[in-house]
Amino acid sequence: MALNQHRDPADLFREWLAQAHETEPNDPTAMTLATVGSSGAPTARMVLLKEVDEHGFVFYTNSESRKGIEIAQNPKVCMVFHWKSLRRQVRIDGVVELVSDEISDAYFASRARGSQIGAWASAQSRPFEGRFELEKRVARFAAKFGIGTVPRPPFWVGYRVIPQAFEFWTDKPFRLHERLSYERDSDRPGNEWSVTQLFP
């Protein structure tokens, strides 16, 4: 099998992501985020990965949005990256934790001012009467903050997904794809990864 079974899965992910930055025409960090709330029904949407390190995968959103509410109800999530140009995908199962206020503040401060205003203006996932209502809210918050610093809204937060399982998938002819699964193994020293090859 071409995939190296002995590599740390986070290192392999970062290598694939670096290659996707070179080949994907748009948003190589785009991922499907699936959540399950108290109803037991899954929901999914596209979000952008903002950081990956030895601790996990970080994205930012409105904690009062549907995904934020569902994460509060059930912190177990699934992420899928699909890089069409590379004919690869990665699925990651994990548990979500909040990043620190300091990290969220720093990232929010790095965003374009229009995006900062938009974070205040949008009551994400909730119904509204039309585009004009959103535009009025944007204008109101733009006037409120004037030319000063736009603070991070208390409901706009960063989440870190701590991975519990990875699956790496590579397209191969005749649908004889390569699949390699990594799972945390509590029986191994240091909670290391167990590795399994899967049929296509």
Active-site residue list: 175
Spatial neighbors of 194 by CB under 8 A, at least 6 apart, are: 182, 183, 184, 185, 188
- The letter for the amino acid at 34 is A
What size, in residues, is the chain? 200
**Which stretches does DSSP call E strand in 50-155?**
51-53, 56-62, 76-83, 88-98
Rounded-to-integer distance, Cα 15 and Cα 37, Å: 32
Q: Which of 196, 191, 29, 13 is nearest to 92 (CA)?
A: 13
Alpha carbons 91 and 36: distance in angstroms, whole number? 16
Helix 113-121, helix 131-145: angle, nearest 10: 120
